[in-house]
Structure 1
C-alpha cells in the first residue's frame, strides 16, 4: 500500500489494523558519469514499494535528498546538513506515530544517511514513541553482492549499476561504463585511503576523479534482478519480524 495513492478513509482502516510503515530514503547525488543522480532513491523506493506490495504494509513517499556533502564537488549533487536531515526524518516519523504507527523501517540506499537514521531511531526509541530501524539493502545480502562482482566498489559501482539497470534501464548510460571504470578507482580499498589507521579523505573526488568506484562493466540487468529479489526477500522478512514483536519488546528497558 502506497500512502500517497490512497484515500484517507482507506488509510484510516489501515491504521486501525496495522502499526508498521516503510520509509524509503536515498539521495540525489553524483553516481559517476554513467548513472543518474537519482540512483539511491530509485533503489530505495523500488525495494520499499515491492516489499509493501508483497506484505500489504504501508509505504510512505520517498525522502529523496540526504546527507551528501562529500559529493558536493560534482555538479547537481544535492544535500542537507546532517542536523537538518535528522530533525526532518524525526519529524516525518513522529507524523506517522500520530496516526498510530509505532514500528518503522527506514529502507535506505545511501551510506551517508546510515549513522543519522540510527540516531533518529535512538531518539524515537528513548522517547517510547516508535521502534524505528535503519535497513541498508546491500548490507542485507553481503555474500551475494561480493560473489556477484570481482571489483565491487562502495559507490557508483557494479552493484548500484546493476540495480538501476534492473529498475530503470533507460537511465543508465551503457556507453560510459568503461569510462566510469577507467576514470575512477576500480580496485578501491579503504586501507589504501588511510595512513596509520587514520582516514585521510573527506570527499569522494579525492579518491576518484569521476566519482565512481569498482568495475561498472561487470554489471548486468540479470545480476540487478537477482540482487533486487534477494534484498526484497530480506526486507519482507524484516517487516514480518518487526510486526510480530509484542509492544513490550520494543520499549526501552528500565534502569538497572
Structure 2
C-alpha cells in the first residue's frame, strides 16, 4: 500500500489494523558521470515500494534529499544540514505515530544518512513514541555483493550501477561506464587519503576526481535484479519480524 495513492477512508482502515510503516530515504547527489543524481532515493524507493506490494504494509512518500555536503563540489548535489534532516525525519515519524504507527523501517540507500537516522530512532525509542530501525540494502546481503563484483565500490560503483540498470535503465549513461571507471579509483584505500590511522579527507572529490569508486563496467541489469531480489527478501523478513513483535518488548527497559 502506497500512502500517497490511497484515500483517507482506506488509510483509516489500515491504521485500525496495522502499526508498521516503511519509509524510503536517500539523497539527490552526484553519482559519477554515468548515473542520475537521484540514484540513492530511486534505489530506496524501489525496495520500499516492492516490499509494500509484496506484504501489504504501508509505504510513505520518499524523503529524497539527505545529508550530502561531502558531494557539494559536483553540480546539482543537494543537501540539508544534519540537524535539519534529523528534525525533519523525527517530525515525519511522529506524524506517523499520531495515526497509530508504532514501528518504522527506514529504508535508507545513502550512507550519509545512517548516523542521523539512528539518532532519530534513539529519540523516538527513548520517548516511547515508536520503534524505528534503519536498513540499508547492501548491508543485508554483504556476501552476495562481494561475490557478484570484484570491486563493488562504496559510491557510484557497480553495485549501484547494476541496481539502476535494473530499476531505471533509461537513466544510465551506458556509454560513460568506462570513463566512470577510468576517472575514479577502485576504492578509498587506493586514494591513499588515510594517513597513519587518520582520515585526511572530508569530501568525495578529495578521494576521487569524478566522485565514484570501483569498476562500473562490471555492472549489468541481470546482476542488479539478483541483488534486488535478494535484498527485498531480507527487507520483507525484517518487516514481518518487526510486525510480529509485542510493542511492550520493543520499548526501553526500565531503570535498573
* Contact kept in structure 2, 1:27 and 1:68, CA below 8 Å: yes
Task: Map Cα deviations across residues 27-84 of structure 1 (whole Å, 9 max, x no partner).
Answer: 0000000000000000000000000000000000000000000000000000000000
> 1:188: Cα distance to partner?
3.5
What is the alpha-carbon distance in structure 2 between the residues aligned to residue 41 and residue 204 of structure 1?
A: 19
2:51 match: secondary structure? helix
What is the alpha-carbon distance in structure 1 between the residues aligned to residue 16 and residue 159 of structure 2?
A: 39
TM-score, normalised relative to structure 2: 0.99
What is the alpha-carbon distance in structure 2 between the residues aligned to residue 191 and residue 198 of structure 1?
A: 13
Give runs of ≥4 in structure 1 deviating > 3 Å. Answer: none
| Counterpart position of 1:17 | 17
* Contact kept in structure 1, 2:191 and 2:208, CA below 8 Å: no
| Counterpart position of 1:103 | 103
Alignment length (residue pairs) = 256
| Counterpart position of 2:93 | 93
| Counterpart position of 2:3 | 3
Q: 1:187 to 1:117 in 2, by over 3 A?
A: closer
Which ranges of structure 1 fall in alignment gaps of 5 or more residues? none
Q: 1:190 to 1:251 in 2, by over 3 A?
A: farther
Does residue 180 of structure 2 align to residue 180 of structure 1?
Answer: yes
> 1:191: Cα distance to partner?
8.8
Task: Map Cα deviations across residues 182-221 of structure 1 (whole Å, 9 max, x no partner).
Answer: 0001243289331111111100000111011000000000
> 1:151: Cα distance to partner?
1.0
What is the alpha-carbon distance in structure 1 between the residues aligned to residue 206 and residue 79 of structure 2?
A: 18
| Counterpart position of 1:237 | 237
TM-score, normalised relative to structure 1: 0.99
What is the alpha-carbon distance in structure 1 between the residues aligned to residue 156 and residue 27 of structure 2?
A: 13
| Counterpart position of 2:195 | 195
| Counterpart position of 2:45 | 45
| Counterpart position of 1:140 | 140
| Counterpart position of 1:68 | 68
1:135 match: secondary structure? strand
* Residues 213-252 of structure 1: pairs in structure 2 closer than 5 A: 213-252=213-252
1:155 match: secondary structure? coil
Q: 1:174 to 1:61 in 2, by over 3 A?
A: same
What is the alpha-carbon distance in structure 2 between the residues aligned to residue 220 and residue 113 of structure 1?
A: 27
* Contact kept in structure 2, 1:188 and 1:214, CA below 8 Å: no
| Counterpart position of 2:125 | 125
* Contact kept in structure 1, 2:154 and 2:187, CA below 8 Å: no
What is the alpha-carbon distance in structure 2 between the residues aligned to residue 15 and residue 137 of structure 1?
A: 27
2:37 match: secondary structure? coil
What is the alpha-carbon distance in structure 2 between the residues aligned to residue 249 and residue 116 of structure 1?
A: 24
